Structure 1
Amino acid sequence: MTQEQFSKYSFLLDRTARKVKQYAQQKFNLGDFDITVDQWLVLKNLSENELLSQTELAQLVFKDHPTLTRIIDILCKKGYVERVPHPQDRRSFQLHLTTIGVSKVKELKPQIAQIREKAWENLNEQDFEEFKRILNTIYTNLEE
């Protein structure tokens, strides 16, 4: 692959990722979800895991610590997330959803699934499999 082809494909990948996030955030705003796409990623990952440290959560949502701290602070103020002292490390906390947070995730899951389905319209099963294979290859190429 030439450098020019690589640049074009990288641009397409980046442009598409930004468009997906922009579209989702627009729908979140119109749906009055009371959260952002990034906040949803945190809530969703906390709903799928019992207790997570901030470091573990940062790895799951691909956010740096300062950005994730801001997101968590907002979600705590909204009553969706709670910090609890880590049982083995007094200097750190574990994160979990509050009862209100669990309800919020249950409420939004079907609506967010519909938003995601829009991006996948007009693609068949073979398209999905090839797309998954390509993305996994790119990801693996960049792992250290």
Structure 2
Amino acid sequence: MSQIPTSPRSRFGIRFSLLARRWRRSIDARLAAAGLTDASWVPLIHLQETGGGISQKELAALVGVDGSSLVRVLDFLCREGLVERRHDEHDGRARLIHLTELGTQRVAQIREQLVAAEQELLLDISDQELANILTSFEKIERRLLAPTPEADA
């Protein structure tokens, strides 16, 4: 019979994956009550954070989906009046995605709901503990984004 891992390093990956899924489900449930799916609110947040005016390819990479999936989401967001596609001034063939005024207002509502959810979920964690967690996340993210020998081959 195998033993259940007890060291923090051997437990981290599974615990982190499960926590991330639970966190996302909790946030998604709150935003679904406002009529937003994760497929629609996540691109809006990324557009605001980048200042808008990014390509579909760049946005797809930020959101973590393939381009064809993002096209359907962007079509929906355009119909809702939340984003618009504009011609790129530097490349007439390309189109860039921008938030509309309504989209900017919607992002403000989303952020209010995210802040409320995060305050509730992080209630028992001090600012210092949270800062330490974020520092650790940044280290992990740097490692994940670092070039690998396989990618160079």
TM-score (norm 2): 0.79
Letter in 1 for 2:128: Q
Q: For residue 71 of structure 2, what is the aligned residue in structure 1? A: 69
1:18 maps to 2:18? no
CA pair 67-117 structure 1, distance change in 2 beyond 3 A: farther
Deviations 1:74-96 (A, max 9, x none): 21121111111222323321011
Which one of the candidate residues 81, 88, 92 is aligned to 1:86? 88
Where do 5+ consecutive residues of structure 2 fail to align? 148-153
Letter in 1 for 2:37: T
Q: For residue 106 of structure 1, what is the aligned residue in structure 2? A: 108
Calculate the aligned-residue CA RMSD, in Å: 2.0
% identity of equivalent residues: 26
Secondary structure in structure 2 of the residue aligned to 1:83: strand
With 59-68 and 113-122 compared, the bigger mean Cα shift is at 59-68
Give the deviation of 1:65 after TM superposition.
1.9
Letter in 2 for 1:34: G
Where do 5+ consecutive residues of structure 1 fail to align? none
Query: Separation in 2 of the partners of 1:135 and 1:108?
Result: 23
Report the number of matched residues: 139
Give the deviation of 1:7 after TM superposition.
5.3
If you compute each CA radius of gyration, which structure gives the higher value, 1 or 2? 2
Instruction: Give every structure 1 segment of 4 or more consecutive aligned residues whose post-TM-superposition deviation is greater than 3 Å.
Output: 4-7
With 76-85 and 57-66 compared, the bigger mean Cα shift is at 57-66
Secondary structure in structure 2 of the residue aligned to 1:71: helix
Query: Separation in 2 of the partners of 1:102 and 1:141?
Result: 33
Give the deviation of 1:63 after TM superposition.
2.9
